[in-house]
Amino acid sequence: MKRNFIAEFVGTFALVFIGGGAIMMVQQTGNSAGLLQVALAHGLILALMVSATMNVSGGQLNPSLTIGLLVARRITPTVAGVHIVAQLLGAVVAAWALKLTMPDALFTAASGGGQSIALDVTAVQAIGLEAIATFFLMFVVYGTAVNSDSPKIGGLAIGLTIAAGILAIGPLTGGSMNPARSFGPAVVSGVLAGQVVYWVGPILGAIVAAMVWEFGILSVERKAPGAKS
């Protein structure tokens, strides 16, 4: 369990530090291509960290994915608990690292590098957006990492899915798709608005995608003669 904890902690730390740092740089420079910059930063670091940790802990780095895999009985409650604690701690420590290394005014203006929900988006809409984006993320996780017949491109595919999700819904919800990614900056900055959205939406999306794979795609494969799952 120690190796799992370290892998999930470091991977989530990297995601929050790099992702939050990118948001702060956009805030500071006023880059017109800011959304693309933020999406690429998240996608690249996640692709690298998932690839680095996949053979250790599965490279989940996301409580919603961990919970989805737990509901699908792909991991045990003990493993899930260790992963979620590591993910949340990694996120909080990364946010503290940003607070200690970034200018105070910049950290405050960017809410610690966290996400926010647009004023014209309701809570229900925000939950729906986060749920759909996370559904796609978990669907790709199953198709490229969980399924035994999956191509060995899990890290790259997962990173690209995160980048695409941010490009699609980033201006509306921040494109979190990860409760830990939002939790760490919120705790350290004290800006807790939207936390229900960033937990409920991603968890629902991940569970639904896991069920689609388990009882739709993989169950059909298991019944097919000579099929592998």
pLDDT digits (tens, 9 = 90+) for 90-112: 999 999 999 999 999 999 999 99
- Count: domains in the chain: 1
- List, for the chain, all residue ranges whose pLDDT scores fall below the cut of 70: 32, 220-229
- 170 belongs to a structural domain: yes
CATH number at residue 20: 1.20.1080.10
Residue 208's pLDDT is 98
- The answer to whether residue 177 is domain-embedded is yes
With a CB cutoff of 8 Å and minimum separation 6, the contacts of 26 are 34, 37, 38
Task: Give the pair of three-digit tokens for residue 218.
Answer: 């993989």
Q: What's the confidence (pLDDT) of residue 59?
A: 87
With 0-12 / 13-18 / 19 or more C-beta atoms within 10 angstroms meaning exposed / middle / buried, residue 20 is: buried
- Quickly list H helices, 110-178: 123-141, 154-173
Taking CA atoms, 177 is separated from 115, 150, 170, 183, 228, in Å, by: 11, 22, 10, 12, 30
pLDDT at 225: 47
Q: Is residue 144 part of a domain?
A: yes
Does 87 map to a domain?
Answer: yes
Tokens of 43: 């996608």
Q: What is the pLDDT of residue 1?
A: 85
Residue 229 lies in a domain: no
pLDDT at 148: 77
* Residue 228 located in a structural domain: no
Q: Does 187 map to a domain?
A: yes
Domain assignment present for 91: yes
Q: Alpha-carbon distance 51 to 61, whole Å?
A: 11
Domain enclosing residue 10, as ranges = 2-223
What's residue 31's pLDDT? Answer: 72
